[in-house]
A and B are shown apart, each in its own frame.
Chain A
């Protein structure tokens, strides 16, 4: 029986020596942030139940560093919007997003959050990107837990490669102004 292949996580790019590594602050911050995101599960409907299954023992989102769920926006990095957002809920969603501290990311899980889903009605917001900027969209009705994990991994990629200056750049300010969210 041959020895099992073990794949190790990649080390950051940089100059390695005995007991030290020379790299950039951005890379270190990116790695640290990506592997310990504190999500805020904003679960409204059916996708929330699939999220509970994703957090459960079978699919286990905690493997990716998301062990600690935060229900307070002040302490969260990632806003996971799962489920239908109605027009009554829109202002509350925006308020929760504004209360989060920078840097923050938004994951829109499910067809209803991405675009209104099957509910093309007068009372449903046709996509949360009408009120807040979104980083990753996960389609599905409801998406399988593997899909939600895929979305989370894409968020981790975004977090890992984000530059330190992005949140202070004029483009980001322009994005926030489009949604009328104060800088």
Chain B
């Protein structure tokens, strides 16, 4: 089975080809990855990426941490939208232990996940603006991110790497301050977002820079394992929230935006529309937030209330068992995926009944679609290559894990 190497035919190009080392520390590569480019003047002939500069051995680390201590590790995968990673991990464990989550907790999770999706797409789009020279949109949208951070702080105490939620639900109900902040956000964000949109969407300079930069066809994207906004920009409407709905996403009505050419402008516009759709989902979830408990009744995994621990015997024993990891875990394997900020974030968990997973494999979308980057920029100018990289939203934490 001879595998065709796409770059072997270019080795015979003679003439003067310059070698340019882009990275690993470079202001425009948002993250740490290196690309050695062979350039013919300003056009790129071939690129060879090197990654692994922030390899933190998550998969090995997960084999040595109990299930509730793996959540902070998943935080650091796509750290722009940590709650989605956390919830995905909790849902994986809940699938393993076959735990049913109450509706209120599911709707709360949806609100938090959509807020973090908005935050992730805001960073990506603001940074596409920065790379084309438009710094103002970045400062505007980071103010919105601050508002979302404050809401996360109300729920879990942290801004960025949230460790939000617990196995079995959420750790506390939404506080009145959270409700007030969310209402303020839902009221004020659309106008400010449209202001940001109006600066870039029909801006002649932005459109000239982005249209045609780094295109990829839908077939090639699927062969390369693209998922998420990058694939939707190429024209395929694959969204895990629709395909394999989790956490009550089937209750909500939203559209999945797609592009046509798969270039930078399409990726930008798809993410903009996804922000609007996320707002729609949050409205629906918040308006119909059902009453009920905010966590399931799984005392083997969910810590009991502190007053009960001091007064009741079973609560004390469960508390001890959860903290000292004496809970029996079923043997088996599960694969669960969620729609992360960048695509299908999958968790393949193999459990042998021990305190820690036997094998935990993260299907990281950034890692999988970044391998298409050399093909996407072949023949493009250097500035287009920079734009393509920032529009693909490659987060180094998810790339290297």
Contact = CB atoms under 8 A, between A and B. Distances in A.
State yes or no: do A and B touch (Cβ within 8 Å): yes
Interface of A: 42, 44-46, 49-50, 52-53, 56-58, 69, 71, 83-84, 86, 88-89, 92, 96, 118-119, 121-124, 141-142, 144
Q: Which of A44, A71, A144 has most chain B Cβ within 10 Å?
A: A44
Nearest to A90: B53
B105 to A, nearest CB: 26
Given A44-B32, A45-B396, A53 B145 contact: yes
Contacts of A122: 57, 60
Contacts of B331: none
Given A53-B146, A89-B53, 6 more contacts: A45-B54, A46-B160, A49-B79, A92-B24, A92-B25, A118-B73
Contact of B25 (A69, A84, A96, A144): A96
Main secondary structure of the interface of A (DSSP, over half): loop
A142 to B, nearest CB: 5
A123 B160 contact: no
Interface string B366-401: 000000000000000000000000000000110010
Q: Which of B143, B145, B160 has most chain A Cβ within 10 Å?
A: B160
A105 to B, nearest CB: 18
18 contacts: A45-B76, A46-B160, A46-B161, A49-B123, A52-B123, A53-B145, A57-B139, A57-B142, A58-B142, A71-B26, A86-B52, A86-B55, A86-B56, A89-B24, A118-B72, A118-B73, A119-B56, A124-B56
A89 B25 CA distance: 10
Contacts of A71: 25-27
Interface of B: 24-27, 31-32, 52-57, 60-61, 72-73, 75-76, 79-80, 123, 138-139, 142-143, 145-146, 149, 159-161, 396-397, 400
Given A44-B32, A124-B56, A119 B61 contact: yes
A49 B149 CA distance: 12
Nearest to B119: A49
A86 B79 contact: no
B56 A121 contact: yes
A50 B57 CA distance: 23
Given A86-B56, A119-B56, A142-B161, A46 B79 contact: yes
Contacts of B139: 56-57
Contacts, number: 86
* Cβ-closest 10 pairs across A and B: A56-B142, A71-B27, A46-B79, A121-B57, A119-B56, A89-B53, A57-B139, A123-B55, A58-B146, A123-B57
Contacts of A89: 24, 32, 53-54
Nearest to B140: A57
Contact of B53 (A56, A57, A69, A86): A86
Nearest to A69: B27
Given A44-B32, A119-B61, A50 B54 contact: no
B23 to A, nearest CB: 9
A128 B142 CA distance: 29
B57 A124 contact: yes
B161 A57 contact: no
Nearest to B147: A58
A53 B54 contact: no
A123 B56 contact: yes
Contact of A46 (B24, B57, B60, B397): B397
A88 B400 CA distance: 12
Nearest to A57: B139
Contacts of B52: 86, 88
A158 B143 CA distance: 31
Q: Which of B56, B139, B160 has most chain A Cβ within 10 Å?
A: B56
B53 A44 contact: yes
Contacts of B54: 44-45, 83-84, 86, 89
Contacts of B161: 46, 141-142
B174 to A, nearest CB: 22
Given A44-B32, A58-B143, A89-B32, A50 B56 contact: no
Nearest to A72: B27
Contacts of A121: 56-57, 60-61
B34 to A, nearest CB: 9
A123 B55 CA distance: 7
A119 B53 contact: no
Nearest to A112: B56
B357 to A, nearest CB: 16
A46 B143 CA distance: 18
B164 to A, nearest CB: 15
Contacts of A124: 56-57
B300 to A, nearest CB: 25
Given A50-B160, A86-B55, A88-B52, A45 B397 contact: yes
